[in-house]
Structure 1
Amino acid sequence: MKKRAAVALILVGSFALTACQSSSSDPSVRAHNAEFGCMAGTVGGAIVGGLIGSTIGGGTGRLIGAAVGLGGGGYIGNRLACG
């Protein structure tokens, strides 16, 4: 149950971070916000993927699952946030 709560908390935090971005007509502000969103998506995806991957298997399998989840989650988060 603790893992589900942690995953839910991370998902809510990730969505909250993306809501903090402001829409501005200044191109430098927009570029900064896009860069922040891209990084937040990559890191958030890696964290969530690692947590989900660590629930698979046991012992060494859990470590391998976490590593694969980190890579896969980071990649998916990057693709979703960076377009």
Structure 2
Amino acid sequence: MKKPAVALILAGFALTACQSSSDPSVRAHNAEFGCMAGTIGGAIVGGLIGSTIGGGTGRIIGTAVGVGGGGFLGNRLTCR
């Protein structure tokens, strides 16, 4: 994996790790942020993985499927 891709993945994990509070309104806001971060992070990771598949048109299709699938899985895992 390339260094920028690793940096983006680590930044996504760092952003989602900073979410704890005892205030209910802050928890609701943090849950919403976590949901968005999970969806976007999943799409980024899925796109990076999908872009390694095939070449030419196959790479474009793999990237698109990776973005869609990663975004979906990231959303399902973080938006409960």
1:79 pairs with one of 66, 70, 76: 76
Shift of residue 82 of structure 1? 1.4
Count of aligned pairs? 80
Percent identity, aligned pairs only? 75
TM-score (norm 2): 0.90
| Aligned residue runs from structure 1 range 7-22, under 5 A | 7-21=5-19
Mapped to 1, the partners of 2:58 and 2:51 lie a distance apart of 8
For 1:18 and 1:34, locate their aligned partners in 2 and report how far apart those are by CA, in whole Å. 10
Deviation, structure 1 residue 13: 1.0
Which structure features the higher share of helix residues? Answer: 1
State the shift of 1:11 in Å. Answer: 1.9
Which whole-Å deviations, capped at 9, do the CAs of 1:14-66 have from their partners, x for residues lacking one?
11001122x22221110000000000000010011011101110110000000
Within the candidate set 69, 72, 78, 2:66 is matched to 69
Where does structure 1 lack aligned partners over 5 or more consecutive residues? none
The 5-angstrom pairing of residues 1-83 of structure 1 reads: 3-21=1-19, 23-83=20-80
Query: Aligned-residue CA RMSD in angstroms?
Result: 1.2
Report the TM-score when normalising by structure 1: 0.87
